Amino acid sequence: MEGYTDFTPAADIHSLAGRVVLVTGGTGGLGRLTVTSLAVHSPQHIFFTGRSESRAKDVVEEARTIAPDTPVTFVSMDLASLASIKAAANQLMQDTPRLDIVFCNAGIMAVPAATTKDGYEIQFGTNHIGHAMLIHLLLPMLQKTAKEPDADVRVISNTSTGFKNPPSGGIEFDRLHSEQDLGIGGRWLRYGQSKLANILFMSELARRHPELLCVTIHPGVIETDLVTTLSYADQALIRASNVGKMISAEDGVKNQLFTATRPRADLVNGEFYEPVGVVGSHSTFSKDQELAGKLWEWTEAEIEKFLKA
């Protein structure tokens, strides 16, 4: 199935009047394109997160130029720090009474072994736990918004087909409080583990909270900072294994924009989508509801432990 190859965001996205949008990682790449692409469709407000104040100013200026009537606000947040995420969530809850669309867009890929500020394996901590913490804190506002007339609350999480290449057990829960040394190629296994967690978490979020539309998307293989900041060897590997498959960021952003704005009846809650709007192929782990439940319970326990400390 080719999907919606003719999807054109400028023409096919209807008015977002009254909707409040949050984009993580909005200072560059697909996040920045998400902000600017949606700004022209008159949402009530767009909030975006990131770590760079200077890059954020550029995004705000660009959005102001193309959509001067759309409020666009930067919220400083580091996904590798639960304290930073808590502060960002508190700011959002002070600044807006509703939240209609959340893009869990930010992420890192195949970085050297390290841990987050809270001691989690860096890719799992950033790509999964960080976003899970944010959703946990914002969930009451999402649920409140979902009760409003004509509400259509969505959470869109970016994953990657790398989810099909996790460690042998899928998610190594007993090693997540470490750098998780997995030997040669371990950075890619750790990345796959974090991307598998994205799919499982969204599936479970949809199951537990069906009033929200929660999906994961693969944007395609794109020349963004995720690729260009890798080692030359890893960049060469990606390009060689994806000859003829790499797409522009402008095409790569389409899948998340599609799933965020397409009529709800066209989408399956909890599903994984490949470009553009195609139900993706799964692995044994990504369809494992028992594993999804275990991940949810483990994650909630970790979050509660932090919040009660």
50 strand-pairing partners: 76
pLDDT at residue 1, as a whole number:
46
Give the model's confidence band at 222: pLDDT under 50 very low, under 70 low, under 90 confident, else very high.
confident
| Residue listed under structure tokens 């509801």 | 289
Rounded Cα–Cα distance for residues 241 and 282 (Å): 20
> What's the mean pLDDT in 249-265?
97
3-state secondary structure at position 16: coil
In Å, how far are 159, 284, 306 from 216, measured between CA atoms? Answer: 6, 16, 26
Condensed to tens digits (0 to 9), the pLDDT of residues 30-50 reads 999 999 999 999 999 999 999
Confidence category of residue 242, pLDDT binned at 50, 70, 90: low
Q: Are strands 272-274 and 278-279 parallel, antiparallel or unpaired?
A: antiparallel
Cβ neighbourhood burial of 184 (10 Å; 0-12, 13-18, 19+): exposed
For the stretch 60-118, pLDDT in tens is 999 999 999 999 999 999 999 999 999 999 999 999 999 999 999 999 999 999 999 99
Written out in words, the top-level CATH class of the domain with range 9-221+250-308 is alpha beta
- The residue whose two tokens read 């190629």 is 185
Provide the sign of the torsion angle of the four alpha carbons 50, 77, 218, 277, taken in this order: negative
**Domain segments of the chain as ranges:** 9-221+250-308
The dihedral built from the CA positions of residue 207, 212, 218 and 223, taken in this order, carries a sign that is negative
Least Cα distance to 269 among 208, 197, 194, 220 occurs for: 208
* 255 has a pLDDT exceeding 50: yes
Asked if 178 and 123 touch (Cβ cutoff 8 Å), the reply is no
Among the listed residues 163, 75, 87, 78, the one whose alpha carbon sits nearest the alpha carbon of residue 122: 78
